[in-house]
Structure 1
């Protein structure tokens, strides 16, 4: 797989991680080690079925991978998925390599998050963009095995009305925001259930700006994104805490494919191999480090 160098932003994340260590953080499962193919309902394909010569890709001999624009850290670096830097960029190239593609045989396309999970034809072979696997989305698209286990997290500005909140009840009167179509938004409506209608944004950058402007009290995002936002994008950002896991199980990010894709089993098989061989753990250590946050009761 590609060799990558840690960017300055990740150093900032590491500093933020150390600062939270004293807050009795709860452990977060890192790469979905207990889920495997069961998460996607796929079967392990024969190796000869999953090669550049045999896979039915959008463009013969090329693996076309999609993600959003902008592509956020720590998942991508410098808004450039082609450089192999950042957790999801590194995972995408590792999947490609496992399937027999060189870096030169990988092409990236930009597709908005909300469009990725809608039904219909796709101009990509698979998408990686922090898309959580849900049963509702399975009706419209296919998912690979999960490549990352994640929890939802609330962030705010220091000194805000929810800074120091320790429970979901403390967020009851908060004006919270999240990106449209995400499970972060669902977490607000289903878990937190604040009295105020949540704000919806087309991008996380818009949500950050709204928090800076005082238009909202906090943002709900996945934990690694929360670290980046509070360490890099916000001058006085702080993590309030992580939400309890619904049903005791973490969400999983999976690669998104067109419904009924002939590639689903191959991509899932590649993800499963990367997990079993410890590659996902290595990528996690390189780009996400050890992250934790206090859990809201």
Structure 2
């Protein structure tokens, strides 16, 4: 056979072999949040949890109202406690099989392996946080709000511009602080606190003119904790889609799809709306700061 013909035949044969090898080669296995849920992986009570037969749920301490009541996440009272138990039930875990773990707010979405199955602690879903952890779908649409003492000049604010020259405070690592820095852009550096308790104390003592928190927390603060304060207003959504709280999971968690399925089911059947009405009904509307 002439050399040119032999070369052509070898090239064709090589291509066929490579194509066959490619067709038979195993696809890379997807991990964590990218791996679709299956009936087996999400079977009630059979998920791959941190502790077999248990569902470990993280949240911070103190556990604030109206998200929790009496600083006791395990009592099922408060919006987030109730949501956690509703998700657990969907996953096949009764209340007696739910174990609560104390997890500081910023630690919940920091890089690194997690010792909880999911964390629930008013953690907003964001692209930046998704680099370190996985999220369920959103279980609550939230707005950020401004709380000020009634005697403060901040109480007279009607627009975002009215807040530029007042002393503002917020908890570190929160979207509340992001709104202060990115939306208000105050002339004074904002006061930053490790916990909302410290921010509330600073407000009460006049160390700041106003603090920024999520809207339900704002109404709880003014109704039960700092009664000489008022909700000045809420910020418009700036992202084009609602800011949402999501359940936090380990970046590689095999539970993410199962937990998202549970949250979606609770939204679809009206459970989330019912729990919101029961536990967050006092968080009525507030003026929008333009």
Same fold? TM cut 0.5 = yes
Name which of 260, 271, 279 aligns with 1:279.
271
Name which of 263, 269, 287 aligns with 1:294.
287
Match in the other structure for 1:117:
109
* Distance in 1, Cα, partners of 2:259 & 2:230: 36
For the 8 Å contact 2:35–2:254, the answer to whether it is kept is no
Q: CA deviation at 1:174?
A: 1.1
Q: What CA RMSD, in Å, does the superposition of the two structures yield over aligned residues?
A: 1.5
Name which of 27, 48, 51 aligns with 2:43.
51
* Distance in 1, Cα, partners of 2:239 & 2:85: 32
Match in the other structure for 2:6:
none
Name which of 241, 244, 258 aligns with 1:266.
258
Normalised by the length of structure 2, the TM-score is 0.86
Normalised by the length of structure 1, the TM-score is 0.84
Match in the other structure for 1:174:
166
Which aligned pairs between 1:68-217 and structure 2 lie closer than 5 A?
68-217=60-209
Say if 2:202 is the partner of 1:218. no
For the 8 Å contact 2:45–2:92, the answer to whether it is kept is no
* Distance in 2, Cα, partners of 1:194 & 1:250: 24
Q: CA deviation at 1:164?
A: 2.1
Q: Which runs of 5+ in 1 are unaligned?
A: 1-40
DSSP-derived class of the 2:64 partner: coil
For the 8 Å contact 2:134–2:253, the answer to whether it is kept is yes
For the 8 Å contact 1:42–1:268, the answer to whether it is kept is no
DSSP-derived class of the 1:73 partner: coil
**CA deviation map 1:181-219 (0-9, x unaligned):** 101001100001000001111111100000111110101
Match in the other structure for 1:6:
none
Q: CA deviation at 1:249?
A: 2.3
Match in the other structure for 2:26:
none
For the 8 Å contact 2:221–2:227, the answer to whether it is kept is no
**Number of equivalences:** 258
DSSP-derived class of the 2:285 partner: coil
Change (3 A) 1:227 1:43: farther
Q: CA deviation at 1:248?
A: 3.5
* Distance in 1, Cα, partners of 2:237 & 2:150: 25
Q: CA deviation at 1:42?
A: 6.4
Q: CA deviation at 1:165?
A: 0.8
Bigger Cα Rg:
2
- Which structure carries more relative contact order (alpha carbon 8 Å, separation 6+)? 1
* Distance in 2, Cα, partners of 1:164 & 1:173: 12
DSSP-derived class of the 1:284 partner: helix
Q: Which runs of 5+ in 2 are unaligned?
A: 1-32
* Distance in 2, Cα, partners of 1:42 & 1:98: 21
**CA deviation map 1:207-258 (0-9, x unaligned):** 0000111110101000000011111110301001001111342210000001
* Distance in 1, Cα, partners of 2:202 & 2:239: 31
DSSP-derived class of the 1:287 partner: helix
* Distance in 1, Cα, partners of 2:156 & 2:43: 52
